[in-house]
Amino acid sequence: MLTKKLAKVLLLITVFTVALYGCSGNKEDTNKSKTPANEDSSITEPTETAKSEPTYGGSITVGITQDLDGLDPHKALSAGTKEVLFNIFEGLVKLDKDGNLVPAVAESYHISEDGMTYTFTLREGVKFHDGSPVTADDVVYSIKRSAGMLEPKDPTVIVESALSVISDVVATSERTIEIRLKQVETELLPYLTCSIVPKDYEELDTKPIGTGPFRFVSYTPLQSIVLEKNDQYYIEGVPYLDKVTFKISSNTDAAFMELQAGNIDILPYITDAQASQLPKGYHMESGPMNLIQGLFINNKVAPFDNKLVRQALCYAVDRQAVIDMVAGGRGNVIGTNMYPGFKKYYDESLVNTYPYDPEKAKELLKEAGYPNGFKFTIMVPSNYQYHIDTAQVIVEQLKQVGITAQIQLIEWSSWKSDVYKGRKYETTLVGLAAELAPRKALERFRSDAENNFMNYINPEFDALYKQGETETVEEKKIQLYKQMEAMLTNDAVAVYIQDPHQMTAVSDKLGGYTYYPIYVQDMSLVYYKK
């Protein structure tokens, strides 16, 4: 019996040694065969890669790790779908890489004096992918559909709540449309990026037609979506590539394996560990995600209903250390609830409100009546390894001040219904993804907001918010927004941690990969280098 066991162990060891030997042996091989040109290409920062000249043609494969939840742009919900459909569809206006709104299907627009009417002039010669010209009727139809104004209503269309201020959309001539509002709304424009689709077109679900730089070719669930160049695109010289395939993998590990095998040219959202294991021929590009990552607190439950306790948490977390440990230093510390991408509105000075100071944290705890600390749980969605890692570092840091935090993993779907909607939690560590307009970041803190999952109630804040909603002078608006941000920080609504950087593996042959302040994989700017 014993000899049998021993033999088993020996055999196992042999099997593994063979497997491991296989690995190392091969590495040597590739080292020998590599050319001097890509010798130091494993990790470079994006600035160096944008130099060489673009060429036209070629096809690439982009790895995505989530299946599309639909091809109809007004029905798709997930960010992962929208970032692909960005290549097929466009709105009246379009976001550029700096977060500015540039005219797209519209050539120009005009806002009336009282701010109640928006008039758009359509660009001449814009065609849908089937060759038919874009008419004012198509635009009216698309905006109404996205705003949920069409009758009969389709319950599967995701109504864009920001468009609910629209009272009517009319085509005033063949090339102009007028959007009339119920009340003044200064942040409507970003939402007019909503996709323009052909009027009464029935097959958006299966054969989507838009005006974007790429046209739809085919889609197979759980496998891939294939796009090809739109030759009639109204911007000269764009896109460069003839064909783009988005390949759907079951998870990041599987996708990364494909990248190692050379099947994938671009793989967004790689992890820190993957970034350090990039195979030859790939480099890493990174840019801010515009995500508000934080330890969000239920302000209603004890002991967190006490402001001092929340502030103590803020002092007890060393945010830079978190970034260093979790992401190898790639991330920016944030101090309040505003997407850092909206530079004008984001108050960077609030980062310094709570420097890392465990002594101060202990003092505050004593003052609040918890000299020996307390226990609480952090809910973390189990599918976000990044947030789990962050929570683990924070748990360790909190131990220093005597607070015992426990991580409880929760399945994403349950997180949405129990934590976000049900507000049944103490604290939760997640990221709030960027929206199109800055006000979205503040909206949830209104006392009566349905998505106020932190249970923040402050009449002063409500008053400021109301003022901000109708303020048309930009300077004043910025000031109001910053006041609100400061209020959130001083009340320590949450422990704001960082805006993480996203990392993308890009083949060395490609250039032009561009980051946007929202989730977008813009393939129209990507090209093969000469």
**Which residues in this chain contact another protein in the complex, by CB under 8 A?**
4, 7-8, 11-12, 15, 19, 22-23, 26, 67-72, 75-77, 153, 155-156, 158-159, 161, 205-206, 220-223, 247-251, 254-255, 257-258, 260-263, 383, 411-414, 416-418, 420-421, 450-451
Q: What is the distance between the alpha carbons of residues 441 and 294, in angstroms, rounded to a whole number?
A: 13
Beta carbon nearer to another protein, 98 or 253: 253
Beta carbon nearer to another protein, 356 or 420: 420
Beta carbon nearer to another protein, 276 or 417: 417
Beta carbon nearer to another protein, 7 or 302: 7
Q: What is the distance between the alpha carbons of residues 267 and 513, in angstroms, rounded to a whole number?
A: 11
Find the shortest distance in angstroms from Cβ 197 to another protein.
14
Nearest 5°: CA angle at 83, between 77 and 89? 90
Find the shortest distance in angstroms from Cβ 262 to another protein.
8
Neighbours of 100 (CB within 10 A): 10
**CA 142 → CA 90, 134, 494, distances in Å?**
11, 11, 38
Beta carbon nearer to another protein, 76 or 275: 76
Whether the ω angle into residue 103 lies within 30 degrees of 0, i.e. cis, is no
The string of DSSP codes covering 161-228 is: GGGGGEEEEEE-SSSEEEEEESS--TT-GGGGGSPP--TT-TTTTTS---SSSEEEEEEETTTEEEEE
Find the shortest distance in angstroms from Cβ 338 to another protein.
17
Find the shortest distance in angstroms from Cβ 403 to another protein.
28
Residue 91 is which amino acid?
A: G
Beta carbon nearer to another protein, 323 or 419: 419
The string of DSSP codes covering 324-391 is: HHHHTT-EEE--SSS-TTSTTT--GGGGGSS---HHHHHHHHHHHT-TT--EEEEEEETT-HHHHHHH
Continuous H helices in 34-109? 79-85
Find the shortest distance in angstroms from Cβ 340 to another protein.
21
411 burial level (CB within 10 Å; 0-12, 13-18, 19+):
exposed
Find the shortest distance in angstroms from Cβ 380 to another protein.
16
- Tokens, residue 376: 């609480």
Q: Which of 415, 434, 439, 435 is nearest to 425 (CA)?
A: 415
Find the shortest distance in angstroms from Cβ 73 to another protein.
11
Beta carbon nearer to another protein, 119 or 414: 414
Beta carbon nearer to another protein, 15 or 217: 15
Find the shortest distance in angstroms from Cβ 360 to another protein.
35
CB 503 within 8 A of CB 267: no
Find the shortest distance in angstroms from Cβ 180 to another protein.
23
Q: What is the distance between the alpha carbons of residues 226 and 220, in angstroms, rounded to a whole number?
A: 9
Beta carbon nearer to another protein, 132 or 156: 156
Beta carbon nearer to another protein, 444 or 529: 444
CB 247 within 8 A of CB 61: yes
Find the shortest distance in angstroms from Cβ 258 to another protein.
4
For the chain, give the longest Cα–Cα distance: 92
Q: What is the distance between the alpha carbons of residues 335 and 346, in angstroms, rounded to a whole number?
A: 10
